[in-house]
Amino acid sequence: MILVGAVSDIPVGESVRVQGSVAIAVFNADGTFYAIDDTCTHQDASLSDGWLEDCAVECPLHAACFDLRTGKPSGPPARKPVRTHEVVITDGQVYVLETVEVGAEVAGALAEEVR
């Protein structure tokens, strides 16, 4: 498990980058936490620097959008999905369980809602 930080460290609509075997972006989408590989599959841009809207992030380089729940791009220029990772919240701390397979949906990758 990778410690991301306290729930309060990631305000709604924001993201942070942590290091696993690769960089991972952790997003707070309206109180639900999601984690995906941080690097866009189209080109080397940091998705944690992108724009978050609902459950999707737009890459800051060429506007490819990725669904935070599945990692799948919504269309060109990206064609390949990013990995999703399970998020666990314990005692007010956010953790990421890194996924092994690229493109594999994580059951409950959504994490938990924090209210």
DSSP symbols for 28-46: EETTEEEEEESB-SSSS-B
- Cβ(9)–Cβ(3) under 8 Å? no
* Distance, C-alpha 109 to centroid of its chain: 9
Structural domains in the chain plus CATH codes: 2-113 (2.102.10.10)
Please write the tens of the pLDDT for every residue from 66-106: 999 999 999 889 889 999 999 999 999 999 999 865 444 54
Give yes or no for residue 9 having a pLDDT over 90: yes
Give the pLDDT confidence score for residue 107 in this predicted structure: 40
Please write the tens of the pLDDT for every residue from 41-72: 988 899 999 999 999 999 998 889 999 999 99
